[in-house]
Structure 1
Amino acid sequence: MIRKLNRVLTVPVILTAVVAVVAWEVLGLQIAVAFLFLVVLETTMGVKSAVPMAGVATRIDERSRRIFLTFGLVVGELLGRLLLPEFAVAVEHAREGDTHLWNAFIEVVTDPSAFASDLLHIRPAIAAYGAVFVWLVFAEYLFNTDRTSRGSWLGPAEARLARVRRPWLASVSTAVIGATVGAFLVPPHAALIIFACGAAGGATYALSKGIAAWARRGTGGRRVSVHAGTVIFERALVIFLMCEILDGVSVLQSVKAVPSPVLQILIASAAVTVGAVLLALVTGRVVASDGLARHRHLKAGAAYCLGALSILLWASLIAPIPGIVASWVATVIILAALITSLPIWERLVDGLRARLAAAQARLRA
């Protein structure tokens, strides 16, 4: 086990050491420390995301999975952490009449404070959009839209939800209810925008699934790549929502100690790349070792992480929620799924049930 862990960590450790030494020699100790600090944050989030991403990987075919687990996760991490915030701000600028979409990307370099303010300003709209999108991804598990044979983690209630007659109708209906409630949580003048953003999240999900369904019907390499691309897109969007929107701060603002915006971008990009490589390697190890099958509740835990994220996004319409909250909620869910998957837990539960049954028998006697 230790040998396998060492193989997984080798590449990220070498990348970190090389970049840190170069940064120290060329740019100074402050830059190197800022880089190492951000690497720790990215690595922590990457490891915590490995199990949910392994759950995503098990839902796609083998050829698409290979693409997803190699450069796909790295691309998704880079897109979600570095480019989607700028794209979101650019869309808002376009809605306000600014036809130069590149202005948002230029603003990151020329005026980081203004960019952070713009991102914070549009956070409720993106939260409403993302809550519906992520909920629909979670609902695939909750209502068992693929109709796969599986056990239940949370008992009879979960089992009944997995057997609903029209799973897709249940998924859409609950998403619509969530979007409607979210619209009521905001001031009246913003309700229509929030509901429209939720509808856009649902439309994005439907488009992604439609493209994936089209790609699965073919056998060519291009269609396999398209299928993997839809999964990568979902991954990038989830990263963006969890790490950027819940606290309204871009990863580029995590290295404010660095005086130059250009250096901030370079340091953030290098740290995110290290985290992305580690995420891809750890996720690949979980899939290769069949960890989700050997620990039977891990897949459920990965799904419930997405469910918790969607609820936190809806809750963030009332008050900002720090990203660390989402991170720890996901950690607790994964740990609970792992512990309840262990044989010792099953023996403990069986023993408690036997004692309870014996106590009830004595009472009846």
Structure 2
Amino acid sequence: MLLKTFGWSFAVTAAGLALAGFLWGWQGLAIVAILSVLEISVSFDNAVINAGILRKLNPFWQRIFLTVGILIAVFGMRLVFPVVIVAITAKLGPIEAVRVAIEDHDRYEQLVTSAHPAIAAYGGMFLLMIFLDFIFEDREIKWLDWLEKPLAKLGKLETLSTVVSLVVLLIAATTVATAVPVHDGGGTIDKAATVLLAGIAGLVTYLVVGGISDFFENRLEEAEEDAEDEAEQAAAASGGKGGASVVGLAGKAAFFMFLYLEVIDASFSFDGVIGAFAITNDIFMMALGLGIGAMYIRSLTVFLVRKGTLDDYVYLEHGAHYAIGALAVILLLSIKYEINEVITGLIGVVLIGLSYLSSVVRNRKQAARTETSEVASGV
């Protein structure tokens, strides 16, 4: 099970480190290894969130997530995305942006760093909406009753998540975004308009992608219920026609859920990409190191799904969403303040660790109650 799930990650790690050693020597190998660990530590909560979504998909789409999805994650978000950001913010042509990324590492780092307020606002708003939609939903299982019960009551207002997100964005735009430090010579610059625009874009992205995904998921569930109720009649009357319809709906639902997963992954990768510049400004080293880490996050996601970990440890998803909320706040604060990636990673690990321990305690209490009940009934 372990080798089957993580086999490709182990293979990519070996090949990636060998390539790093060949191209850049021992120093390059060490940098790529450090970047891999950085990505895993910062994005561990991403695996838990992804697992909650991926378990709804069939094995085919899980394989797509590990193959096509990892190509998007590595080449799209860790290699192409920073270059696109440079091209847009610096108003460079695609070829010139690629040339700067490959040949002028210092200028490339400076351009990406200057684009950080827009990146942080976009990713921060997207992740904040994920957290708020989770915390405002009335769930049967609650981790922190004292907090989640009153928030679930407030969550009956359907637009509350959007309203709170917009308020947070306004606060960020009028506080941290008004005096962003200039990294190439001191002083500050007003990035309020940029942060507002990027934050609204992140909010719109969440509403559009999440809304479409939910729509097709609901359609799929309705179709499956109808198919179960009329299975024998449909098989006799229309042969395989009804089954084909359900498969088509499943394909649409799976596609948009896959798209939703990719957007989530993109939002999680922002801080990793920016943080990587503290270690190196070589775009290929960053892509290789962060790509290896992203591969492990993907494999861990599939492992959690196949082991049924989220069903066994019911508070893990809560802990991951609290970590997402913390990451969203950190991204918005990082518009003005420099926050070490170690802090970001530790917050996620601590929250998920606490939720795991709470799940273990819950499972033991349930097992003890079951045993006591069986003894009392004479079983």
Normalised to the residue count of structure 1, the TM-score between the two structures is 0.77
Tell me which amino acid in the other structure corresponds to 2:71. V
Equivalent position of 2:125 in the other structure:
132
Amino acid at match of 1:187: T
Matched, 1:52 2:49: yes
2:71 to 72, 75, 78: 75
Identity %, equivalent residues: 20
SS at match of 1:162: helix
Per-residue CA shift, 1:138-192, capped at 9, x if unaligned?
A: 1221111xx6x42111113212212335443110110011011101113284323
CA distance in 1, matches of 2:178, 2:34: 38
Amino acid at match of 1:324: V
User: 1:274 corresponds to which residue?
Assistant: 292
8 Å contact from structure 1 (residues 129, 199) kept in 2: yes
What residue number does 1:91 align with?
88
Q: Does 1:316 align with 2:338?
A: no
The whole-number CA distance in structure 2 between the counterparts of 1:228 and 1:91 is 28
Comparing 220-229 and 133-142, the one that deviates more: 220-229
- Structure 1: gaps spanning 5 or more residues: 351-365
Asked if structure 2 preserves the Cα contact closer than 8 Å seen for 1:42 and 1:275, the reply is yes
- SS where residue 335 of structure 2 aligns? coil
Q: Is the 8 A contact 1:128 1:198 kept in 2?
A: yes
**1:361 alignment counterpart:** none
**Hey, what's the Cα distance between the residues in 2 that align with 1:136 and 1:119?**
25
Shift of 1:44: 4.2
- In structure 2, the partner of 1:362 is none
Q: Against the structure 1 CA distance between its residues 15 and 152, is the aligned structure 2 distance closer, same or farther, given a 3 Å change threshold? A: same
Match of 2:99 in 1: 106
Gaps of 5+ in 2: 180-189, 221-246, 369-379
Deviations 1:230-285 (A, max 9, x none): 2233233222223134x4x54xx7345xxxx5xx51x4444344323322222111
Indicate the SS of the match to 1:153: coil
Which among 89, 110, 113 is matched to residue 117 of structure 1? 110
Q: In structure 2, do the counterparts of structure 1 residues 61 and 11 end up closer, same or farther at CA, with 3 Å as the change threshold?
A: closer
What amino acid sits opposite 2:62 in the alignment?
A: R
Instruction: Write the letter of the residue equivalent to 1:164.
Output: L
Among candidates 356, 364, 368, match of residue 338 of structure 1? 356
Kept in 2, the 8 Å contact 1:48–1:330? The answer is yes
1:232 match: 261
On the 8 A contact 2:42/2:348 being kept in 1, the answer is no
1:65-112: CA deviation from partner (whole Å, max 9, x where unpaired): 525643254135313322222222222134xxx4x2443233210211
Q: Helix, strand or coil: the match of 1:150? A: coil
Q: How much does 1:39 deviate?
A: 3.6
Would you say the 8 A contact 1:38–1:268 is kept in 2? Answer: yes
The number of aligned residues is: 327
| Number of the residue aligned with 1:296 | 314
**What does residue 190 of structure 1 align with?**
191
Q: Kindly state the Cα deviation for residue 137 of structure 1 after the two structures are TM-superposed.
A: 1.4
Separation of aligned partners in 2, 1:255 and 1:75: 22
The 3 A distance-change label for structure 1 pair 11 and 203 is: closer
- Equivalents in 2 of 1:196, 1:172: separation in Å? 15
Asked if structure 2 preserves the Cα contact closer than 8 Å seen for 1:292 and 1:298, the reply is yes
Give me the whole-angstrom Cα distance separating, in 2, the residues matched to 1:24 and 1:119. Answer: 26
Asked whether the equivalents of residues 133 and 202 of structure 1 are also in contact (C-alpha less than 8 Å), the reply is yes
- Please say if residues 50 and 282 of structure 1, whose CA atoms lie closer than 8 Å, have aligned partners that are also in contact: yes
Q: Secondary structure in 2 aligned to 1:254?
A: coil
Cα deviation for residue 49 of structure 1 reads 3.7
Distance 1:104 1:222 in 2: 37
Alignment equivalent of 1:156, drawn from 143, 146, 150: 146
Q: Is the 8 A contact 1:8 1:278 kept in 2?
A: no
* RMSD over aligned Cα atoms: 3.1
Aligned to 1:176: 166
Q: Give the distance between the partners of 2:90 and 2:22, measured in 1 at CA.
A: 40
Which AA in structure 2 matches 1:92? T
Match of 1:254 in 2: 279
**Matches of 1:50 and 1:165, distance apart in 2:** 26
Match for residue 182 of structure 2? none
1:184 corresponds to which letter in structure 2?
T
Normalised by the size of structure 2, how large is the TM-score? 0.75
1:298 and 1:341 in contact (8 A); partners too: yes
**Structure 1 residues 166, 314: closer, same or farther in 2, change over 3 A?**
same
Separation in 2 of the partners of 1:283 and 1:151? 22
Give the direction of change, closer, same or farther, for the CA distance of 1:297–1:76 in structure 2 (3 Å limit): farther
**Equivalent pair of 2:44/2:349 in contact (CA under 8 Å):** no
C-alpha spacing 1:192/1:274, structure 2 compared with 1 (3 Å): closer
Structure 1 residue 223 displacement after superposition: 1.9
